[in-house]
Amino acid sequence: MTTALPPGLYALYDDSLPERVLAAVQGGARTVQLRLKHTPDREALALLRRLEPHVPALIINDRVDLALLAGCGVHLGQDDLPVAEARRLLGPHALIGATCRSLADIERARAEGADHVGLGPVFKSRTKPLPWPLLGAEGLKAICARSPLPVVAISGIDETNLACVAAAGAHAAAISAALFAHDDPAARARLMLEVWGR
């Protein structure tokens, strides 16, 4: 049986500053996904090993090899290694998430061995342009109601729309800029959890 993804705040971080990550966890984020695209492999592995004991659910973006070495989870985009291969390498208990755009994508991810999915874009991203149509709160709600896997809502989520993401039935909300573009990630995480409200 696969380890369950914690509900609530799912922090997305693009840098390698452990103090910022740990502050978000102190504020209540239970899942942290690191996107270390510009971090050398040795530094990335050392960072993962440092953080793993302190983060309830630590996930690395794209890198199955680093997940295996660090004992953490992995999130796979649609152009990354197949979920089935990651599951074979990481075993039955690793957290493996997959990027999805539709209910059909989620069903495929489940068949391949994912235990949760990142679904979006829900709202317009504050960090990068995205070529896919926005789901909006109603589209998110419709998919969450039928999803066979826990859904992490992704893109453009902040304190102004987080409550409707929770009301739509998302298991967790992925938050990046609204959390880390501030001086105090711990305070921002506490605010987000208050808005999440469950």
Nearest-angstrom CA–CA distance, 39 and 81: 20
146 falls in which pLDDT band (50, 70, 90)?
Answer: very high
51-69 pLDDT per residue, tens: 999 999 999 999 999 999 9
- Domain annotation covers residue 83: yes
For the cut 90, the answer to whether the pLDDT of residue 105 exceeds it is: yes
DSSP 56-116: SEEEEES-HHHHHHHT-EEEE-TTSS-HHHHHHHH-TTS-EEEEESSHHHHHHHHHHT-SE
- Decide if 138 is inside a domain: yes
β-pair type (151-153, 8-13) = unpaired
In a domain, 188, yes or no: yes
- Residue 29 is predicted with a pLDDT of 97
In a domain, 3, yes or no: no
1 belongs to a structural domain: no
Mean pLDDT calculated for residue range 129-134: 82
Does 2 have pLDDT greater than 60?
Answer: no
Cβ atoms 73, 94 nearer than 8 A:
yes
Average pLDDT for residues 105-134, to the nearest whole number? 91
Domain at 167, CATH number = 3.20.20.70
| pLDDT at residue 1, as a whole number | 30
Q: Exposed, middle or buried: residue 190 (CB in 10 Å: 0-12, 13-18, 19+)?
A: middle
The answer to whether position 2 is within a domain reads no
Domain enclosing residue 48, as ranges: 8-196
**How many domains, the chain?**
1
Which residues, at least 6 apart from 143, have a Cβ–Cβ distance to it below 8 Å? 102, 103, 106, 119, 135, 151
Residue 100 is assigned to a structural domain of this protein: yes
Assigned domain for 112 exists: yes
Mean predicted confidence (pLDDT) in 25-36: 96
Q: Give this prediction's pTM.
A: 0.94
